[in-house]
Structure 1
Amino acid sequence: MQTFLETERLVLRPFTDADADHLFALDNDPDVMHIINGGKPASREAIRTRTLPHLLRDYAGLGTRGYWAAEERTTGAFLGWFEFRPLDDLGPAVVELGYRLNRTAWGRGYATEGSRALIDKGFTDLGVERVTANTMAVNDRSRRVMEKSGLTFLRNFTGDWPDPIEGSEHGEVEYEITRSDWESRRQP
């Protein structure tokens, strides 16, 4: 199977239709989905007709897919996925970073490792100028991953969500790293 990116412990690869069961399990874990939709389960039909087509999409601006299945390098175990997709289909200037990992992968540094590798690849190989990421303000774990990955806090904002979930009353946060910030941090 084609590999998009490898790290010391991770393999990021394109999704396939064969990932439907992995995605069904991931999106039906109430702890994983708590911050995303309040922990509501997903049907197999929703995974097949909405989730998988979204994850299989190619992004012309990058010339790649925007979502990557994450596997543990030594065992091949499915850990979840990473998002690294352009916000504008015309080019790679600004990409959004995201991740959704199984509970068994939490607290082990996988989210930070994968995020750092994607950021580095974006700035070195894909022509990215700015990486952005956002989450609910109360999602301390994800905010910590963003900070460890080199992103800095940009702003608080409030989204207009049709079905608010617990914690959404505190709003959202956006983090970013620019190419120039990334380059200055890499200088000896």
Structure 2
Amino acid sequence: MDAFLETERLVLRPFTDADVDHLVALDNDPDVMRFINGGRPTSRDTIQERTLPHLLRDYPCFGTRGYWAAEEKATGTFLGWFEFRPLDEHSPEAVELGYRLNQAAWGKGYATEGSRALIDKGFTDLGVKRVTANTMAVNSRSRRVMEKAGLSFLRNFTGDWPDAIEGSEHGEVEYALTRADWEQRR
């Protein structure tokens, strides 16, 4: 399988149908899903019928996908995934950055490493002008990754939560990085 992007320790590659078991394990870890859906499990059928097709989608303005399976380069171990997808499928100018990694990958800098690499690729190769990322206000680990990846706090907001989960009463936060700011920091 051809890699989309490689870093010192990571390989980001396109998802395949063979990733279902990895996604089932990832999305059924209550700690991984705590800030996504309150830690509720996701059925295998939902992953096969909804999640995986979403992860396999190509974006015309990139000529590629917007979600990438993350593997540890040295071992090939599945670590989770990264999102770097256009907010408007017809324009690469603004993208959303996201990540979901299994617990074994937490605290090792993988989320920051993968995020920085995607940001660099976006600004140098994909025509991106603005990167944005959102999380729950109480998700301090994810917020720290955004900051370490170079994004700056933009605003607090209240999203529509169909099912309120612990912490959602504090709202969400948005972080962003423009190409101009990225260039100044290099």
SS of 1:30's equivalent in the other structure is coil
Per-residue displacement from partner, 1:94-148 (whole Å, max 9, x unpaired)?
0000000000000000000000000000000000000000000000000000000
> Within 2, Cα distance between the matches of 1:172 and 1:97?
15
Quote the offset at 1:162 in angstroms: 1.2
Task: State the AA in 2 paired with 1:92.
Answer: P
Report the residue type matching 1:35 in the other structure: F
Mapped to 2, the partners of 1:153 and 1:78 lie a distance apart of 30
- In 2, the alpha carbon distance for the partners of 1:160 and 1:100 equals 21
Counterpart for residue 121 of structure 1: 121
Q: Matches of residues 91-130 of structure 1 in structure 2 within 5 Å?
A: 91-130=91-130
User: Which runs of structure 2 are paired with 1:34-53 in the superposition (5 Å)?
Assistant: 34-53=34-53
Quick one: which amino acid aligns to residue 148 of structure 2? K
- Provide the C-alpha distance between the structure 2 equivalents of 1:130 and 1:60, rounded to a whole number of angstroms: 18
Gaps of 5+ in 2: none
Task: Note the C-alpha offset of 1:91.
Answer: 0.9
Segments of 5+ residues of structure 1 without an aligned counterpart are: none
What is residue 163 of structure 2 aligned with on the other side? 163
Across the two proteins, how many residue pairs are aligned to each other? Answer: 186
After superposition, where does 1:67-106 map in structure 2 within 5 Å? 67-106=67-106
Q: How does the TM-score come out when normalised to structure 2?
A: 0.99
Q: CA deviation at 1:161?
A: 1.1
1:76 aligned counterpart, secondary structure: coil
What amino acid does structure 1 have at the position aligned with 2:183? E
Aligned to 2:136: 136
The Cα offsets for residues 30-83 of structure 1, whole Å up to 9 and x where unpaired, read as 000011000000111001000000000001121110000000000000000000
Alpha-carbon distance between aligned partners in 2 of 1:89 and 1:70, rounded to the nearest angstrom: 23
TM-score normalised by L of structure 1 = 0.98
Q: Secondary structure at the match of 2:163?
A: coil
Quote the sequence identity (%).
Answer: 81
Paired AA for residue 171 in structure 1: G
Partner SS state of residue 97, structure 2: strand
Q: 1:185 corresponds to which residue?
A: 185
1:160 positional shift: 1.7
Report the AA paired with residue 45 of structure 1. Answer: D
Counterpart Cα distance in 2 of 1:22 and 1:90: 30
Distance 1:61 1:153 in 2: 27
**Residue type of the alignment partner of 1:8:** E
CA distance in 2, matches of 1:64, 1:145: 25
SS at 1:180 equivalent:
helix
Give 2:98's aligned amino acid: G
RMSD (CA atoms): 0.4
SS in 2 for 1:8: coil
| Distance (Å, rounded) in 2 between the aligned partners of 1:162 and 1:52 | 22
Number of the residue aligned with 2:23: 23
